[in-house]
A and B are shown apart, each in its own frame.
Chain A
């Protein structure tokens, strides 16, 4: 899910590219129990070990961190840890380096479940900017920081006024009010009398109907909001709304207050992007391990 139009995966890819790496592997782990702290299941690690991988950098997309991966690598080498986890004051950030020894051990642990887990490693203490994007509240904090320049992430669009960014093809009615700092994503439509901001992020391909107010909130892509609503300190994803103060999740669909939409222009855009990616031959998929616990395909991305 984008944040101020930015792809978090892409931001990590940029950091990996700076390490001089040419490609990376992507996978998704829908089942929590199949992964350990590194985000990889044992069979995958065993497979990497078998392939003779010397060192593995594992990044789980659960945080946005302005981390210098070269510094992490240096720390890992100097501390001679088989495993180095990156942490901030709030705990692990989902970034981990594993040497081949640790991969072998993990592979054996996978084969023999009684093997001890990794313990006693010196973690890499990250003191830079980091936010966990899986928490709606922290995600909203990241939006606020991106809009005010408190972090390096900048909204993806044109700054039409002071602290007001609008993505390509967005359509704002003349009577719509936009109060900065605010971001309105590409191809989003804001109808008459609606108010967006302050500290609002309406991502791409959304429709905000007449008179609706979006304040200190995030509207995720492809969301329709009915007329006359008040979205304050909340996160809306299609037909679901999470209140950031109470943590309550409400279904907006039975009351007709919101829903997921797929607009024709965005479908065309998505098709174009997929087409470009496949023509360039930049991505290839394979089933990395034949084990049932690693049934998710791996996608190789050339950087």
Chain B
């Protein structure tokens, strides 16, 4: 069975987010160890505070210099504007929805490559 070639993680926005620490840890681990693209979804966040901005920058720093591709789903124009103002959008591709992020050419190409690799790998066994 083929595994999903991307990881979608909710962003623990705001300090009152349930289990913020746990989600933060999961998010940073995923960025460090995952070879698959990681989509960070903060479409449920109304607005971003300074802790959120710090965490987003930490995500960018974790992914930098690794093969991990990170994408952000802003969800709203206000969040998009904040990402532009903080220059985060110049470091990481930002999308309006998860659907839009999945259609991102680099993810789609990576997905196709994995499908191709998987089919090549399966061929000798199946023959």
B-binding residues in A (CB < 8 A): 228-232, 234, 241, 243, 246, 248-252, 254-257
Are A250 and B85 within 8 A (Cβ)?
Answer: yes
Of all chain A residues, which has the CB nearest B90? A230
B48 touches A254 (CB 8 A): yes
Closest to A242 in B: B81
> Is B60 part of the binding interface, using a Cβ–Cβ cutoff of 8 Å?
no
What 1/0 mask marks residues of chain B from 81 to 105 whose CB sits below 8 Å from any chain A CB?
A: 1101111001000000000000000
A251 to chain B, nearest CB (A): 6
Known contacts A243-B81, A255-B82; A250/B87 CB under 8 A: no
Given contact pairs A246-B77, A250-B85, a sample of 11 additional A-B residue pairs in the complex whose CB atoms are under 8 Å apart: A229-B86, A229-B87, A230-B87, A246-B80, A248-B76, A248-B80, A250-B47, A254-B50, A256-B50, A257-B53, A257-B85
Residue on A nearest B53 in the bound complex, by CB: A255
Compute how far the CA of A243 lies from the CA of B74 in the bound complex, rounded to whole angstroms.
16
With A243-B77, A248-B77, A251-B47 as known contacts, state yes or no: A257 contacts B87, CB within 8 Å: no
Out of B47, B76, B77, B86, name the residue touching A254 (CB < 8 Å): B47
Instruction: State the Cβ distance, B54 to closest chain A Cβ, in Å.
Output: 9
Nearest 7 A/B pairs, CB to CB: A248-B77, A254-B49, A256-B50, A250-B81, A250-B78, A243-B81, A246-B77
B82 neighbours in A (Cβ, 8 Å): 250, 252, 255, 257
A232 / chain B contacts, CB cutoff of 8 Å: 84
Interface size on B, residues (CB 8 A): 17
Given A248-B78, A250-B82, A255–B48 Cβ distance below 8 Å? Answer: yes
Q: A230 vs B82: C-alpha distance in the bound complex, in angstroms?
A: 10
Instruction: For residue A223, give the distance in angstroms from its CB to the closest CB of chain B.
Output: 13
Give the distance to chain B from A212, nearest Cβ to Cβ, in Å. 9
Output the least CB separation between A2 and chain B (Å): 23
> In the docked arrangement, what's the CA distance between A257 and B84, Å?
12
Residue contact A231 to B78, C-beta cutoff 8 Å: no
Rounded to whole Å, the gap between the CB of A229 and the closest CB of chain B is: 5
Q: List 21 A-B contacts (CB under 8 A).
A: A229-B87, A230-B84, A230-B90, A234-B85, A246-B80, A246-B81, A248-B76, A248-B80, A250-B82, A250-B85, A252-B85, A254-B47, A254-B48, A254-B49, A254-B50, A255-B47, A255-B48, A255-B52, A257-B53, A257-B82, A257-B86
A4 shortest CB reach to chain B, Å? 23
Q: Which B residues between 44 and 62 are near A, CB-CB below 8 angstroms?
A: 47-50, 52-53
Please report the C-alpha to C-alpha distance between residue A212 and residue B46 in the assembled complex, in whole angstroms: 25
Query: Closest chain B residue to A236 by CB distance?
Result: B85
Residues of chain B within 8 A of A251, CB atoms compared: 47, 78
A129 to chain B, nearest CB (A): 31
CB distance from A274 to the nearest CB of B (A): 35
Set B53, B78, B85: member contacting A249, Cβ < 8 A: B78
Cα A256 to Cα B76 with chains together (Å):
19
Tell me how far the C-beta of B49 lies from the nearest C-beta in chain A, rounded to whole angstroms.
4
Q: Report the minimum CB–CB distance from B79 to chain A (whole Å).
A: 8
Question: Looking across the interface, which residue of chain B has its beta carbon closest to that of A229?
Answer: B85
C-alpha spacing A246/B86, complex, angstroms: 17
Asked whether, in the complex, the Cβ of A231 is within 8 Å of the Cβ of B47, the reply is: no
* Partner of B81 from A241, A254, A256 at Cβ < 8 Å: A241
A211, closest chain B residue (CB): B87
Q: With the chains together, A160 CA to B39 CA distance in Å?
A: 48
Contact A248:B87 (CB < 8 A) given known A255-B48, A255-B49, A255-B53: no
Give the distance in Å from the alpha carbon of A234 to the alpha carbon of B50 in the complex.
21
Chain B residues, CB < 8 A from A234: 81, 85
CA distance A250 to B83 in the complex (A): 11
Residue of A nearest to B87 (CB): A230
Q: Which residue of B lies closest to A246 (CB)?
A: B77
- Considering the chains assembled together, what is the distance between the CA atoms of A5 and B80 in angstroms? 31
